[in-house]
Amino acid sequence: RKEVEQDPGPFNVPEGATVAFNCTYSNSASQSFFWYRQDCRKEPKLLMSVYSSGNEDGRFTAQLNRASQYISLLIRDSKLSDSATYLCVVNDGNTGKLIFGQGTTLQVKP
């Protein structure tokens, strides 16, 4: 089983739609969680950290479910510019290093 698993997609949605991505992780000792965004032929960039209580940043909402070991990202009112690959990132609870998922690709269509 992969340490961090994501549905690769692609998710094709129209502008204005709400889309949600899920990610599962295997190490129950993991303490830090992030969503990164990677545009085509660019480097990954931090989108948002994920806190236990859930957190929101504009149109983006991240949630963590420790019991089920999954993380979610919700994007409301999607824009064309949201088209990218979204990487779920979890720290290795034993070593602290970050483990990246394979990413979920989102395509927002006009």
Q: Rule CB under 8 A: which residues touch other proteins?
A: 31-32, 34, 42-46, 49, 87, 91, 95-103
Q: How far is the CB of 15 from other proteins (least distance, A)?
A: 28
CA distances from 28 to 34, 64, 93 (A): 16, 12, 7
Q: Which is nearer to other proteins, 2 or 109 (CB)?
A: 2
Q: How far is the CB of 99 from other proteins (least distance, A)?
A: 8
Q: How far is the CB of 17 from other proteins (least distance, A)?
A: 26
Q: Tell whether omega for the bond before 8 is within 30 degrees of 0, i.e. cis.
A: no
Q: Which is nearer to other proteins, 43 or 110 (CB)?
A: 43
Q: How far is the CB of 107 from other proteins (least distance, A)?
A: 17
Q: Which is nearer to other proteins, 11 or 36 (CB)?
A: 36
Q: Which is nearer to other proteins, 1 or 97 (CB)?
A: 97
The 3-state DSSP class for residue 68 equals coil
CA distances from 68 to 2, 4, 8, 65 (A): 16, 13, 20, 6
Q: Tell whether omega for the bond before 10 is within 30 degrees of 0, i.e. cis.
A: yes
